[in-house]
Amino acid sequence: EAPAVIRTILLTFPEIGGEGAAGKLEQIRARVAALRLPACPEVKISVSIGGIQRSGSLNAQLLHAEKALYRAKEKKNAVEVSE
């Protein structure tokens, strides 16, 4: 089994709302997944992204984003957005 490197990164796009946010997250996922490492051509990058499109307290927003992230991880190489 290939070794895995997992990182969690928080991005905010306050100027993008609605479907624009989901589209932006999908663009990021696709671009990162398309990256190749010349020294290790057999390595493939999988990106799972969870996002939110709601207001509320920071804690509530992070909780919903985390739940969306875990749904995306279950699918693998996917974007999930909580509304």
Q: What is the pLDDT of residues 31-79, one digit of tens each?
A: 998 998 898 888 888 889 988 877 788 888 888 888 898 999 899 889 9
**H or E segment and range at residue 24:** helix 19-33
What is the C-alpha separation between 49 and 80, in angstroms, rounded? Answer: 6
Q: What is the pLDDT of residues 4-15, one digit of tens each?
A: 677 777 777 777
